[in-house]
């Protein structure tokens, strides 16, 4: 990475920190400056007190120096301590904001980015790196250290400036001390470069281990995994695996510690040589009368602190540089654009509810794939119709729904709503006309009412009505707190566990609560038996009323009541028609699928 890129990332990171966490950044700057200054106050006035004692100054002068020492130190510490709680609170908020940013980014991304496994791995990696301390948290650390050490360098130079301006001190001593400082800084820099390289190699090697261990820990700590762990005797195997990962990480960490110690040994030796030599030079200067006795401690402390600050600055620069590659990866994730065309047209509100949806020569393949998921799809239906989509696994049914809901845009062709390409409609408004229950719907460990309404606030009576329509009337009556009952026990020990079938009915109630013109069920009843599924679909057909309802199911009997059935096979629609029309075609795919399923529900020998 070039120096200009390092500078660009550092500036962008600081601007980002100042923009998103302004209070924390300002508190950090003020607190760092104050804590850096406070140690110089007693050093400066101690030399004054010693010189006053040696020269026999009055008690009044000594008292003034002591009062200034104690008073200024106390004042600075009080101000710093007053800032600290605000800084800590702001940091905790920054930590929570960081967690929220991942959620916000996920919601702002195009859906194709959410399904992209490379992007998912990138997100997991930078989250793991953040937990390790890199990214923005190292940025906070290096920002604090830069301000702290920068302030110390300024204070140290101010304390030692009079030494180098003293004409009574020989040029040889001055050059000797400067040379030792320069040599020490060079050795410090080389040692820090080597030690940071060792540390970075260690963290890079641990990324995979950290990801794996996090997956293991998440699995083991999830109470839902407890049944599998016990029933399949997985405990010993999981423990052995985790012990193996821990042992490997310990081995790498021990190796890193030994190498790091070896790399830093030269800087420790050179630093002690500098301290010893500086003391000798200053004692010689004091004996010759070039400097006062009190100035010896001031200059020694100033030079040592200057050296420490410069060495720390080098270290922090190396740390910042090594963190820049992590920040670059971090920003790469948050810079992922949403390339979905948003559109501006308003979805027409029609009193006659005459909405037409048309797929016109639509073909689609997923990003990064060479094979077509859908090919030359032509289908037209109007609101109020009941459309069933059937076909074998992988035939393109769910992809068809994703395109209609604009989770993806077609690779070829166009999808029209009332003759207008759906890409021209306002994206959020277009999405609002669909109530969809996918196979992989999610319920949350919140209250039942919040799950149905997908909102913190909700209409309780409407939630109850939707749940009754979805077939949950009896279950609702058994709940201790009605719609306020929490699902699962993550946040409330009195939360209820629900079956797979009940979860699917809650998802159906959610679709009813939204009350959108288009209602889509993408095999949400897979956990139900065929009879229960048919009952749900039949009831849902009644509930849909004049809305457009689209059903996807493997069980063809559940779709008999639909106005139209589209049969998908290998990404294409190969048949369309009513149940009776399709069943009359004894050579068609629908007839084949129907009879393949019917044999399991007919008496033996029939």
Buried b (16+ CB within 10 A) or exposed e, 149-172: bbbbbbbbeebbeebeeeeebeee
Asked whether residue 435 falls in the same domain as residue 570, the answer is yes
Tell me how far apart the 2 most distant CA atoms of the chain are, in Å.
122
Which tokens go with 116?
């992209």
Asked whether residue 55 falls in the same domain as residue 110, the answer is yes
Asked whether residue 9 falls in the same domain as residue 102, the answer is yes
- How far apart CA 306 and CA 39 sit, in angstroms, is 13
pLDDT value at 463 more than 60: yes
pLDDT digits (tens, 9 = 90+) for 216-235: 887 887 777 887 888 888 88
Would you place residue 522 in the very low, low, confident or very high pLDDT band (cuts 50, 70, 90)?
Answer: confident
Burial class, 86, CB count within 10 angstroms (exposed 0-12 / middle 13-18 / buried 19+): middle
213, 245 contact by CB (below 8 A) = yes
Q: What is the 3-state secondary structure (H, E, C) of 338-407?
A: CCCCCCCECCCCCCCCCCEEEEEEEEECCCCCCCCCEEEEEEEEECCCEEEEEECCCCCHHHHHHHHCCC
Asked whether residue 466 falls in the same domain as residue 549, the answer is no
- How far apart CA 87 and CA 32 sit, in angstroms, is 11
CATH number for the domain harbouring residue 391? 3.40.50.300
Would you place residue 334 in the very low, low, confident or very high pLDDT band (cuts 50, 70, 90)?
Answer: very high
> What does the pLDDT read at residue 497?
85
Asked whether residue 38 falls in the same domain as residue 158, the answer is yes
Q: Does 286 reside within a domain? A: no
> What does the pLDDT read at residue 160?
85
pLDDT digits (tens, 9 = 90+) for 185-209: 788 778 877 887 787 778 777 777 7
Compute, in degrees rounded to 10, the torsion defined by CA atoms 169, 175, 181, 187. Answer: -160
Q: Does 210 reside within a domain? A: no
- How far apart CA 537 and CA 470 sit, in angstroms, is 10
Q: Long-range pairs for 171-176 at CB < 8 Å and ≥24 separation?
A: 173/281, 173/284, 173/285, 176/277, 176/281
Judged by DSSP in three states, 525 sits in coil
Number of domains in the chain: 3
pLDDT value at 242 more than 60: yes
Asked whether residue 386 falls in the same domain as residue 298, the answer is no
> What does the pLDDT read at residue 72?
93
Q: Does 9 reside within a domain? A: yes
Q: What is the pTM of this model?
A: 0.71
pLDDT value at 355 more than 80: no
pLDDT digits (tens, 9 = 90+) for 375-406: 999 998 877 788 889 888 888 988 999 999 89
Would you place residue 374 in the very low, low, confident or very high pLDDT band (cuts 50, 70, 90)?
Answer: very high
Asked whether residue 528 falls in the same domain as residue 432, the answer is yes
Average pLDDT, the chain: 84
Q: Does 135 reside within a domain? A: yes
pLDDT value at 348 more than 60: yes
Range 504-527 average pLDDT: 82
- How far apart CA 562 and CA 257 sit, in angstroms, is 69
Asked whether residue 405 falls in the same domain as residue 308, the answer is no
- How far apart CA 233 and CA 239 sit, in angstroms, is 11
- Domain stops at, among 334, 369, 394: 334
> What does the pLDDT read at residue 491?
82
Q: Does 228 reside within a domain? A: no
DSSP 336: -
Range among 303-312, 324-333, 352-361 with highest mean pLDDT value: 324-333
Q: Does 536 reside within a domain? A: yes
Asked whether residue 472 falls in the same domain as residue 564, the answer is no
pLDDT digits (tens, 9 = 90+) for 146-161: 999 999 999 998 888 8
- Looking up tokens 């039949």 gives 538
Asked whether residue 405 falls in the same domain as residue 470, the answer is no
Asked whether residue 431 falls in the same domain as residue 552, the answer is yes
> What does the pLDDT read at residue 73?
93
In terms of Cα–Cα distance, which of 315, 322, 88, 9 is closest to 17?
9
In terms of Cα–Cα distance, which of 402, 286, 263 is closest to 54?
286
Query: Cα-flanking dihedrals φ and ψ of residue 527, to 5°?
Result: -85, -5
Share of the chain above pLDDT 90, in %: 19
Range 445-449 average pLDDT: 90
Asked whether residue 135 falls in the same domain as residue 66, the answer is yes
pLDDT digits (tens, 9 = 90+) for 33-90: 999 999 899 988 888 888 888 888 888 888 998 999 999 999 999 999 999 999 999 8
* 288/334: higher pLDDT: 334
pLDDT digits (tens, 9 = 90+) for 299-319: 878 887 887 888 788 878 878
Q: Does 259 reside within a domain? A: no
144, 25 contact by CB (below 8 A) = no
Q: Does 195 reside within a domain? A: no
* 27/311: higher pLDDT: 27
Domain residue limits at 431:
356-439+517-600
pLDDT digits (tens, 9 = 90+) for 554-605: 777 777 778 889 999 999 999 999 888 998 998 998 888 888 876 655 555 5
Buried b (16+ CB within 10 A) or exposed e, 387-417: bbbbbeeebbbbbbbbbbbbbbbbbebebbb
For residue 102, count other CB atoms closer than 10 A to its CB.
15
Q: How far is CA 380 from the centre of its chain?
A: 41
Q: Bridge partners of 552?
A: 389, 522
Range 502-518 average pLDDT: 86
């Amino acid at each position: 990475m070039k120096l200009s890129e390092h500078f660009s990332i550092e500036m962008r990171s600081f601007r980002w920190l100042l923009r998103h966490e302004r209070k924390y950044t300002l508190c950090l700057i003020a607190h760092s400056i104050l804590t850096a200054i406070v140690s110089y106050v007693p050093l400066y006035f101690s030399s004054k007190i010693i010189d006053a004692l040696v020269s026999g100054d009055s008690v009044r002068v000594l008292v003034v120096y002591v009062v200034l020492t104690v008073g200024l130190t106390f004042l600075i510490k009080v101000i710093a301590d007053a800032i600290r709680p605000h800084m800590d609170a702001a940091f905790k908020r920054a930590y929570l904001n960081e967690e929220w940013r991942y959620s916000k980014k996920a919601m702002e991304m195009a859906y194709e980015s959410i399904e992209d496994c490379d992007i998912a791995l990138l997100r997991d990696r930078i989250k793991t790196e953040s937990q390790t301390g890199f990214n923005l948290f190292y940025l906070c650390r290096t920002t604090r250290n830069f301000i702290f050490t920068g302030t110390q360098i300024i204070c140290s130079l101010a304390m030692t400036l009079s030494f180098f301006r003293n004409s009574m001190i020989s040029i040889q001593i001055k050059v000797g001390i400067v040379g030792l400082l320069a040599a020490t800084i060079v050795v410090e820099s080389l040692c820090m470069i080597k030690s940071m390289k060792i540390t970075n190699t260690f963290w890079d090697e641990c990324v995979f281990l950290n990801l794996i261990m996090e997956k293991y820990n998440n699995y083991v700590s999830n109470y839902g995994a407890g049944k599998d762990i016990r029933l399949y005797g997985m405990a010993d195997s999981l423990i052995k695996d985790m012990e193996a990962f821990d042992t490997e990480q310990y081995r790498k960490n021990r190796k890193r510690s030994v190498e790091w110690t070896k790399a830093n040994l030269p800087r420790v030796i050179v630093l002690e040589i500098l301290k010893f030599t500086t003391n000798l030079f200053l004692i010689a200067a004091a004996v010759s009368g070039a400097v006062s006795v009190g100035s010896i401690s001031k200059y020694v402390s100033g030079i040592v602190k200057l050296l420490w600050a410069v060495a720390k600055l080098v270290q922090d620069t190396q740390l910042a540089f090594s963190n820049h590659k992590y920040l670059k990866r971090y920003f790469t994730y948050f810079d992922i654009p949403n390339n979905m065309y948003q559109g501006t047209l308003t979805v027409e509100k029609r009193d006659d509810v005459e909405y037409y949806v048309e797929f016109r020569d639509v073909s689609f393949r997923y990003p990064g794939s060479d094979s077509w998921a859908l090919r030359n799809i032509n289908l037209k239906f109007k609101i109020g119709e009941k459309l069933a989509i059937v076909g074998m696994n992988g035939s393109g049914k769910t992809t068809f729904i994703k395109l209609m809901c604009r989770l993806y845009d077609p690779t070829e062709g166009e999808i029209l709503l009332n003759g207008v390409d759906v890409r021209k409609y306002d994206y959020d408004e277009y999405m609002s006309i669909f109530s969809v229950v996918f196979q992989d719907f999610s319920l949350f460990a919140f209250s039942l009412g919040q799950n149905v309404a997908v909102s913190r606030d909700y209409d309780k009576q409407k939630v109850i009505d939707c749940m009754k329509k979805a077939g949950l009337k009896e279950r609702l009556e058994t709940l201790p707190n009605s719609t306020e009952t929490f699902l699962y026990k993550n946040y409330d020990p009195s939360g209820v566990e629900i079956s797979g079938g009940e979860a699917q009915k809650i998802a159906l109630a959610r679709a009813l609560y939204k009350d959108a013109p288009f209602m889509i069920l993408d095999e949400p009843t897979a956990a139900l038996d065929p009879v229960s599924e048919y009952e749900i679909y039949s009831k849902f057909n009644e509930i849909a009323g004049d809305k457009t309802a689209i059903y996807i199911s493997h069980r063809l009997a559940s779709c008999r009541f639909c106005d139209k059935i589209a049969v998908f096979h290998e990404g294409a629609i190969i048949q369309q028609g009513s149940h009776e029309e399709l069943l009359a075609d004894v050579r068609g795919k629908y007839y084949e699928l129907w009879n393949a399923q019917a044999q399991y529900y007919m008496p033996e020998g029939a």
